[in-house]
Amino acid sequence: MNFLAHFHIADQTRTSFTGALLGDFVRGSEFSSIDASIVEGIRIHRKVDQLSANLPNLVSIRVDYQQGQRRYLGIVTDMLMDHIIAARWPQFDPRSLNEFSQMAYKNLLTGFEQWPKYGQVRARMIQYDWLCQYQSEERILKALEQISQRLKRPVNLRAIGESVLRHHSNELHRACFDDYRVLIQTLVHGHSLQAQKRAT
């Protein structure tokens, strides 16, 4: 899952949007200086990453790719799932995508200088309205090109993305409309149980 799905899940579980983004940058248990609500958001982010790697339809896509490509396929499917969720947003949330995006941006706290990439990504995301831009397939493929340029080993992520869209569109859509919804239900239920335990 990429930024949009992580924020949508944060909204559904009523956890921190800041934690949902910080989860990409905080390593290990560097939590001593972070508010508990944000830590919970980071933990949800990590749980999402753990569970989404094994979504049945994404596993089905992986078997068709060689090991060298498979290593990067998670990056590609994360981005493509955000594209489908954005493009079909009314089927996931009653608010408009613009309304949800503006709400998400407002909930991303500033600070956290010990993780400078958080601030950089936050600023660019808001400036260029990434979440709404995800509706465009071409912009997602362009983003994959840009990610490719930052990798240590040259990998054509755009080509992999185009291949997934061409040959595995059905599995990708099922991952969004079936697997993703089950994932949300699992996380909401699990978070609710944990909250009840803390309250007793």
Taking residues 170-179, report their average pLDDT.
97
Tell me the C-alpha distance between 186 and 111, whole Å. 31
The total number of structural domains in the chain stands at 1
What is the distance, to the nearest Å, from the Cα of residue 120 to the centroid of all Cα atoms in its chain?
A: 17
DSSP category for residue 81: H
Whether the pLDDT of residue 151 is over 70: the answer is yes
Tokens for 192, please give them.
């609710």
Query: What is the pLDDT, as a whole number, of residue 134?
Result: 98
- For position 22, what pLDDT does the model report? 96
Mean of all residue pLDDT scores within the chain: 93
Spatial neighbors of 194 by CB under 8 A, at least 6 apart, are none
Q: At what angle do helices 97-106 and 3-13 cross, to 10 degrees?
A: 80
Task: Give the N- to C-terminal CA distance of the chain in Å, as an integer.
Answer: 33
Find the domain containing 51 and state its range.
3-199
**Residue 11, CB half-sphere, CA atoms under 13 Å: how many?**
20
Give CA–CA dist 57/178, Å, rounded.
Answer: 9
Residue 196 has pLDDT above 60, yes or no: no
pTM score above 0.85 = yes
- Please indicate whether residue 177 or residue 30 has the higher confidence score (pLDDT): 177
